[in-house]
Amino acid sequence: MSNQPTTESSPPAESTPPVVLLTGASGYVGGRLIPLLEQQPVKLRCLARSPEKLRQVVQDSTDIVRGDVLDPSSLEPALEGVHTAYYLVHLMSGSQDFEKEDRQAAAYFAQAARKAGVRRIIYLGGLGEDADPDLSPHLRSRHEVGRIFRESGVETIEFRAGMVLGAGSLSFQLMKSLTDRLPVMLCPRWLTTSTQPIAINDVLAFLLAAKDLPPGESRIIEIGSPDVMSYGDLIREYARQQGLRRSLIFVPVLTPYLSGLWLALVTPASFTVGRHLIEGLKNPTVVRDPQAMEALGVHPVGVTEAIRQAIQESDATP
């Protein structure tokens, strides 16, 4: 028995923590978010196509529900009672027509979230100018997913990021594999495109901060490190930190299609994924409006430090 007197203003002895649904939990960003959410005063529920793969990486208190964002019947139970839902799904790898499937999945998810009374969707998409007529299908599709959520009636925080610098990030792995293996690189012109990558730890800090924002309007928050640079400079900085001497020779004839083939030869990434990502490299991915990210109180590290952390994480990963 407690000696503590109960007053009318005391909170209930046991208040139910809000339920947070994490999709993409088996992916890189989602997987890194799991332990951070498990430290929060929330009840974590992960949606996974293969729950058995996740069981050993989550705490016993975390629920795992089987679900597929392309199967609307699986979303209703997954979203039941959910307060905040993270959408960190990337369909691109297995799909022939990822734009259509992205759209379909976002619509199913938004509809189920609305029906379940979800208060907020937090989505991580890609940087890039909406008005750019040459926006790659990959970035166009990432933006469309955000728009579907924002127009769904469920408050949506859409983060837009460029390359995530972290050991398990596919785009970082592509850069690492190429730079590690090729002393001389024939580079297409888009390696001069401006980009503003971001460290994985900063992405995670933004994703967490979004959960605790007061209720408000749906919004887009562009996030990035303080450094804008070209992809070529990014490769040079990675090589410098690894003590590698690398020559980049720029040729105009390497089309994105050929680059994808070339990537398939030298990297572990599949041809399809590599090609879609490469197509996106021609589009500048820079933060146009830093005010929204500044308001969240996260101060991203610079690219030099972000690469250092990613290399350290890679070295520590078996």
Please give the residue ranges that form the binding site for ligand NAP (CB under 6 A).
Answer: 23-24, 26-30, 49-50, 68-70, 88-91, 124-126, 142, 161, 163-164, 169-171
Q: In the complex, what is the shortest distance from the CB of residue 31 to ligand NAP, in angstroms, rounded to a whole number?
A: 7
Cα–Cα dist 90/96, whole Å: 13
Q: In the complex, what is the shortest distance from the CB of residue 4 to ligand NAP, in angstroms, rounded to a whole number?
A: 44
Q: In the complex, what is the shortest distance from the CB of residue 116 to ligand NAP, in angstroms, rounded to a whole number?
A: 17
Q: Which residue, 112 or 164, is less far from ligand NAP as judged by CB?
A: 164
Number of continuous H segments (helices) and E segments (strands) in the chain: 12, 13
Q: Which residue, 64 or 91, is less far from ligand NAP as judged by CB?
A: 91
Bridge partners (DSSP) listed for residue 51: none
Contact status, residue 198 vs residue 165, Cβ threshold 8 Å: yes
Q: What is the dihedral of CA 60, 29, 17, 116, to 10 degrees?
A: -110
Q: Which residue, 70 or 311, is less far from ligand NAP as judged by CB?
A: 70
Residue nearest to ligand NAP (CB): 27
Q: In the complex, what is the shortest distance from the CB of residue 168 to ligand NAP, in angstroms, rounded to a whole number?
A: 7
Q: Which residue, 126 or 260, is less far from ligand NAP as judged by CB?
A: 126
Cα–Cα dist 86/203, whole Å: 13
Q: Which residue, 195 or 259, is less far from ligand NAP as judged by CB?
A: 195
CA neighbor of 179 nearest in space, from 47, 307, 46: 307
Q: In the complex, what is the shortest distance from the CB of residue 54 to ligand NAP, in angstroms, rounded to a whole number?
A: 9
Contact status, residue 198 vs residue 161, Cβ threshold 8 Å: yes
Cα-based distances in Å from 300 to 71, 206, 273: 36, 9, 27
Q: Which residue, 146 or 188, is less far from ligand NAP as judged by CB?
A: 146
Structure tokens at 269: 């990434």
Q: In the complex, what is the shortest distance from the CB of residue 234 to ligand NAP, in angstroms, rounded to a whole number?
A: 12
Question: 10 Å Cβ neighbour count for 10?
Answer: 9
